[in-house]
Amino acid sequence: MDIINSIILGIIQGLTEFLPVSSSGHLELGKAILGDDSVPKESLLFTVVLHFATALSTIVIFRKDILEIIKGILKFEWNEDMQFLFKIGLSMIPAVIVGLFFEAQLEQLFGGNILLVGCMLIVTAGLLFLADRAKDTNKKVSFPNAFVIGVSQAIAMLPGISRSGATISTSVLLGNDKTKAARFSFLMVVPLIFGKIAKDILSGDITYESANFTSLGIGFVAAFVSGLFACKWMIALVKKSKLSYFAIYCTVVGIIAIGFALYNR
């Protein structure tokens, strides 16, 4: 993979990890358009590096929140921070179950399945349209809400379903405050990303022998910087109820992807 492709895919990952347009779907589209012919193990290494970059950008943006949560947890009291930690843990259960027991079936849906990506992008658009019309409240994410949002996160493992779009939309439709919904959505994925990275590394499926570390480094920087920008932007957009713009975008890209897939059959 050359440097230009690394930059493009890094930016795609950084932007789409936070913006509600599906990072996995756009990476599949990007690889199809750019003609990524890297072998699976090299592609997996690049994907791991990009996800690590976006996880770090999340930590940087929410560093104050994370430090406050850690301080609250260290008090060893059933306070708001401890409850938030347990809600995060509860939200992870559905995705962990899918990842552990249905990984093989899930992986079969990737690898250039552009038709599925297009259809799922249109589903994402529908969720965003509904969420944008929900009334704003001051309600916090409850324990039952956390689990339901976690189910949405598990469903968003399908290529083309936006994780942030699905989780934020679900949270808002459950009546939660939009800012709190965005905060919970971005923080709940960090443990999963690091867990997935650790699993991929320990599995032995990643090879470093033929890796282009220059391309990996440039891709990392591109994903990290664009992730910082996208995360801040997304929080502002959710507050202002501007998700419908992304719904239109997902619809258009979804239709184009479906047309591209059908044309190339």
Q: pLDDT tens digits, residue range 223-257?
A: 999 999 999 888 888 888 788 888 999 999 999 98
Asked whether 7 and 30 are in contact (CB, 8 A), the reply is no
Angstrom CA distances, 228 to 30, 62, 152, 219, 221, stand at: 21, 10, 24, 14, 11
Residue whose entry in the numeric block shows the structure tokens 């259960």: 93
Q: How many helices (H) and strands (E) does the chain have?
A: 12, 0
Q: Where exactly are the structural domains of the chain?
A: 3-263
Residue 35: predicted pLDDT: 63
pLDDT, residue 5, reads 78
| Whole-structure pTM value | 0.84
Q: Can you spell out the DSSP letters for 172-216? A: HHTT--HHHHHHHHHHHHHHHHHHHHHHHHHHT----TT--HHHH
The whole-number pLDDT of residue 212 equals 74
Instruction: Give pLDDT tens digits for 84-127.
Output: 999 999 999 999 898 888 877 887 777 667 888 899 999 999 99
- The more confidently predicted of residues 261 and 107 is 261
